[in-house]
Amino acid sequence: MNMSEKSTPISSEQVTYERCPCLEIVGAIRQCLGISPAARQHLANSRVEFLKAIREVLNERIERLSSQPPQGTKVAVE
């Protein structure tokens, strides 16, 4: 389906979503463990730092590949 075929609900239509079982399980675990707001903030920060680390690894790899001289030889065509 391309973008033009995608249907959008009319404002008078009501859309209902089923609850995700995975989200329910995670919510129950959070309640049982009693994750504090400070711990939740720490976990959120760690996700950001992990993504920054991946970005840095990719940037270094791109820089290394970009700085290598092109391989092969040029042949003059008459």
Q: Is residue 56 part of a domain?
A: yes
The answer to whether residues 15 and 9 touch, using CB atoms and an 8 Å cutoff, is: yes
State the CB neighbour count (10 A cutoff) for residue 30.
11
Look at 9 and 5; give whichever has higher pLDDT. Answer: 9
Give the mean pLDDT of 58-77: 87
For 15-38, what is each residue's pLDDT tens digit?
Answer: 777 777 877 887 788 788 887 888
Q: Is residue 55 part of a domain?
A: yes
Q: Is residue 61 part of a domain?
A: yes
Whose tokens are 């675990």? That residue is: 29
Q: Is residue 50 part of a domain?
A: yes
Q: Is residue 8 part of a domain?
A: no
Identify the weakest region by mean pLDDT among 2-6, 23-27, 41-45, 53-57.
2-6
0.85 exceeded by pTM: no
Q: Is residue 16 part of a domain?
A: no
- Please tell me the predicted confidence (pLDDT) of residue 1: 46
Q: Which domain holds residue 63?
A: 36-67
Distance CA 12, CA 70 (A): 59
Domain count, the chain: 1
Question: Could you tell me if residue 76 is left (phi over 0), alpha (psi between -120 and 50 degrees) or otherwise beta?
Answer: beta
